[in-house]
Amino acid sequence: MTERTDLQLHLGGRLGRVSALLTRPPEAWLLYVVAHGAGAGMRHRFLESVSASLASRGVATFRYQFPYLEAGRGRPDPPSILEATVRAAVSHAGELIPELPLIAGGKSLGGRMTSSAASVEELPSVRGLAFLGFPLHPPGQPGTQRAEHLARVQVPMLFLQGTRDQFARLDLITDVCRQLGTRATLHIVDGADHSFGVPKSSGRTSRDAIDELADTITQWARALVTDAIRA
């Protein structure tokens, strides 16, 4: 049976502590440290569904709150605090289950702050980053400035993007990944928006899209783990 454990993550200094949630299936082979998006916390139904789908594939998840949502505030913390939280979460997760290979990332803002932290200094033991909708630009304001730091990330990156994502115009995110070369893998979810919702006319459900995300993360991460063993 999959175990769910509520935890407290100590951030140090004046940042205090935030809530975290470990979901670990039997015979887990991978741990994914997942940060939430800007407007919804770690227990949002999207992350709950992704975590459950990954658990059925043997992937454990470590979700956590950013301080602003833990305190009930709506405005995200400054990047320095968000990045410090990412680093604390990754370190704690690695110490908690040191026997599992580790990847990190998250939904929208959470994924971007994870990559931003990794661009400053490598995240301990992290073998790759998986983004659940990288927020390349605000809706209606296309640009690639938010991706400039990705050139300094030294581990493989998986971009999971919907064709209807208003936060990442498809041609722009495709070009960003092309410039990153072999470090970047882009997977397009047909018809999905930024939250990976799909229209009824597509003949698919949101569950179908989430299972596609989980399948893609699993296949990509297995290749990372296999390559590491061979090396």
CB 31 within 8 A of CB 100: yes
Over residues 86-112, mean pLDDT: 97
CA 36 to CA 19: how far, in whole Å?
12
pLDDT at 1 over 90: no
CA 216 to CA 56: how far, in whole Å?
14
Give 208-212's long-range contacts (Cβ < 8 A, gap of 24+): 209/162, 210/46, 210/49, 210/50, 210/53, 211/53
pLDDT at 228 over 70: no
- pLDDT of 15: 80
Report the CATH number at residue 107: 3.40.50.1820
Q: Which two tokens stand for residue 75?
A: 């405005």
153-209 confidence digits (pLDDT tens): 999 999 999 999 999 999 999 999 999 999 999 999 999 999 999 999 888 999 999
Q: Which two tokens stand for residue 152?
A: 């300094």
Over residues 39-55, mean pLDDT: 96
Domain hosting 112: range is 3-230
CA 62 to CA 30: how far, in whole Å?
11
Count structural domains, the chain: 1
pLDDT above 70 covers what percent of the chain? 98
Confidence of residue 230 (pLDDT cuts 50, 70, 90): low
First to last CA, the chain: 33
CA 161 to CA 145: how far, in whole Å?
18
- pLDDT of 231: 58
Residues 92, 95, 99, 101, CA torsion sign: positive
Q: Which two tokens stand for residue 87?
A: 């680093």
CB 102 within 8 A of CB 125: yes
Q: Where are the beta strands (DSSP E) in the chain?
A: 3-10, 17-24, 30-35, 59-64, 102-107, 126-132, 157-162, 184-189
CB 149 within 8 A of CB 118: no
- In this structure, how many other beta carbons lie within 10 angstroms of the beta carbon of residue 88? 20
CA 226 to CA 231: how far, in whole Å?
9
